[in-house]
Amino acid sequence: MKTEAGNLLADVDAQFERAAVYSHHPRGLLDQVKMCNVVHRMSFPVRDDDGSIRTVEAYRAEHSFHRLPTKGGIRFSPDVTEDEVCALASLMTYKCAIVEAPFGGAKGGVCIDPRKESEGFLERATRRYVAELNRKNMIGPAVDVPAPDYGTGEREMAWIVDTYTALNPSQLNPFACVTGKPISLHGISGRTEATGRGVAIGIAEATASAEDMEAVGLTPGIEGKRVIVQGLGKVGFHAARLLREAGARIVAIAEYDGGIASDVGIDVEAVQQHRAETGSIRGAPGTRTIERPGPVLEMECDILVPAALENQITADNANRIKARVVAEAANGPVDSVGDAILRERGILVIPDLFLNAGGVTVSYFEWLKNIQHVSPERLTSRYQEVATTRVVKALEGATGAHLSDQDFMKAVKGPDEIDLVEAALTDTIIHAYRSVHETWKSRSMPDLRVAAYTLAINRVAQSYAVQGIFP
Ligand code: NAD
């Protein structure tokens, strides 16, 4: 199935159609599941640092209203297009369906380059973008809830919540209007690393199967696997860090301005430190520098983790990829032609709509925390501690064994917020992978991506069928 090179929307739609063959829904319903329901294109004035006025173009796409609110990140990039945000919003709908987060998909994009703009300009553009969304009722805890994406983070989410709160003073749950906020502004522990953590958990789960690994010529497990990561941003950094903690060897990293490699493995945190000091990963201690990022993807490794942007593995380079597993941490890093080539070459692709769903999963927990006005552990932690203390004391009494004070405290301690978030994220990703895997194997589908799309399409279509179509 050929699509126009570089068109993510055409690629997502092509993948949808590959999966639609496995569903038994009427064509009209499939079209409703597939089409982006609302797109708002806006342009607005933003004052530059020298007092002049610049016009900024931006979008918000709300792909599906089968669940509300809609949910999806905001991307700051000069290359953002309407088609791109529609494609990313579609992926959000399917992703939420796979991890059973009760949202429709959405995505926002603002055509600015955060690397080139001043903090003041970025703040004014962000606040004005929120005002434009608010004007159209396209932001709010019950309607549409943004989050971080490429080029945005906690800082932008803080500006968003502050602007929304100022514009909606009588809202009961204003903090639930956006997720990925700093902890001090009602964010949740573990959100920053959630997508990368989900990627690491998903790769661990996918590579645990001896049968699937034998099919690609690898031994099961993460331990000792050679990994290459493209993009050391919010997703790539935490994925690389956690894969390394799990025993993988990070043999190369690509960034927009070049790459680094080391056969003995890269200390990812030291590289991040070097980047903070010098502005680049190039020249990081203990690594050799590679002039351009592209060739890094084609180096020898077991697992390739593209975690930067879409359309990185295409007809141009898919034949030269040496990895046996490609783990799509970014959205759409493999286009549909590249995907077909990897499939023919027997490479296992772990698809984006499953693999990077850890971010929206923890965003869901943050949104719940905000509408409930309480952290998840607050009502239960002390109770669990008291209950476990009773059990441990009873066991000590019955057996005569005694724990040291330190072991006792460790055994009975109630959970903190981060403990609950990490446990629930792990559970969600593992459960989602098993559902996708079971769909793949039980219906003899060609690959995991078709299985993931099929699962998502069925869940969204079923919810339309149960609700009925209004009027
Ligand atoms: P980010 O802006 O934090 O990081 C992206 C990194 O990629 C940056 O360090 C950038 O310099 C680098 N990069 C850009 N072009 C590159 C190139 N050609 N080669 C190598 N590196 C390059 O963004 P992020 O939030 O980590 O998002 C990365 C991807 O993950 C995007 O596709 C995004 O849509 C997806 N994603 C993000 C989240 C999230 O929670 N942030 C959730 C799901 C999916």
Q: Is 192 in the pocket of ligand 1 (CB under 6 A)?
A: no
Sequence-distant (≥ 6) Cβ neighbours of residue 286 within 8 angstroms: 262, 264, 266, 267, 270
Q: Which of 8, 71, 149, 364 to mutate to test the pocket of ligand 1 (most atoms within 8 A of CB)?
A: 149
255 lines ligand 1 (CB under 6 A): yes
Q: Is 307 in the pocket of ligand 1 (CB under 6 A)?
A: yes
Q: Give nearest CA residue, ligand 1 atom 32.
A: 330
Q: Is the CB of 235 under 6 A from ligand 1?
A: yes
Amino acid at 378: R
Cβ of 309 closer than 6 Å to ligand 1, yes or no, is yes
Q: Tell me if 157 CB under 6 Å of ligand 1.
A: no
Q: Distance from first CA to last CA of the chain, Å, rounded?
A: 36
Q: Report d(CA 205, CA 429) in Å as an integer.
A: 9
Cis peptide before 69 (omega within 30 of 0): yes
- The first and second tokens of residue 59, run together, are 């979008």
Structure tokens at 221: 């497990």
* Protein residue whose Cα sits closest to atom 40 of ligand 1: 359
Cβ atoms of residues 125 and 56 within 8 Å: yes
Q: Which residues of 77-97 are buried (b: 16+ CB within 10 A; e: fewer)?
A: beebbbbbbbbbbbbbbbbbb
**Which atom of ligand 1 is found nearest the CA of 357?**
43
- Residue pair 274/266 in contact (Cβ under 8 Å)? The answer is no
Among 71, 95, 107, 234, the one annotated catalytic: 107
- Dist. CA 409 → ligand 1 center (Å): 40
Rounded Cα distance between 123 and 145, Å, is 19
Residue 230, ligand 1, Cβ within 6 A? yes
Q: How far is the CA of 218 from the centre of ligand 1 (A)?
A: 28
> Which of 69, 37, 74 has the alpha carbon at shortest distance from 59?
74
For ligand 1, whether the C-beta of 335 sits within 6 Å is no
CA of 151 relative to ligand 1 center, distance in Å: 7
**Each residue's pLDDT tens digit in the chain (471 positions)?**
334 556 999 999 999 999 999 998 999 999 999 999 999 999 999 999 999 999 999 999 999 999 999 999 999 999 999 999 999 999 999 999 999 999 999 999 999 999 999 999 999 999 999 999 999 999 999 999 999 999 999 999 999 999 999 999 999 999 999 999 999 999 999 999 999 999 999 999 999 999 999 999 999 999 999 999 999 999 999 999 999 999 999 999 999 999 999 999 999 999 999 999 999 999 999 999 999 999 999 999 999 999 999 999 999 999 999 999 999 999 999 999 999 999 999 999 999 999 999 999 999 999 999 999 999 999 999 999 999 999 999 999 999 999 999 999 999 999 999 999 999 999 999 999 999 999 999 999 999 999 999 999 999 999 988 887 777
Report which protein residue has its CA nearest ligand 1's atom 15.
256
- Judged by DSSP in three states, 78 sits in coil
Q: Which of 77, 188, 235 to mutate to test the pocket of ligand 1 (most atoms within 8 A of CB)?
A: 235
CA dihedral of 217, 222, 226, 231, whole degrees rounded to 10: 120
Tell me how far apart the alpha carbons of residues 163 and 264 are, in angstroms, rounded to a whole number.
48
Instruction: Tell me the CB-side half-sphere exposure of residue 316, using CA atoms within 13 A.
Output: 10
Residue nearest to atom 36 of ligand 1 (CA): 330
**Ligand 1, closest atom to CA 309?**
32
Say yes or no: CB of residue 363 within 6 Å of ligand 1. no
β-pairing, 144-148 vs 249-255, is unpaired
Ligand 1 closest atom vs CA 152: 2
**Tokens 């077909």, located at residue:** 340
107 is catalytic: yes
Say how far apart CA 308 and CA 357 lie, in whole Å: 15
* 423 Cα to the center of ligand 1, angstroms: 25
Would the CB of 256 count as within 6 Å of ligand 1?
yes
User: Could you tell me the distance, in angstroms and rounded to a whole number, from the CA of residue 152 to the centre of ligand 1?
Assistant: 10
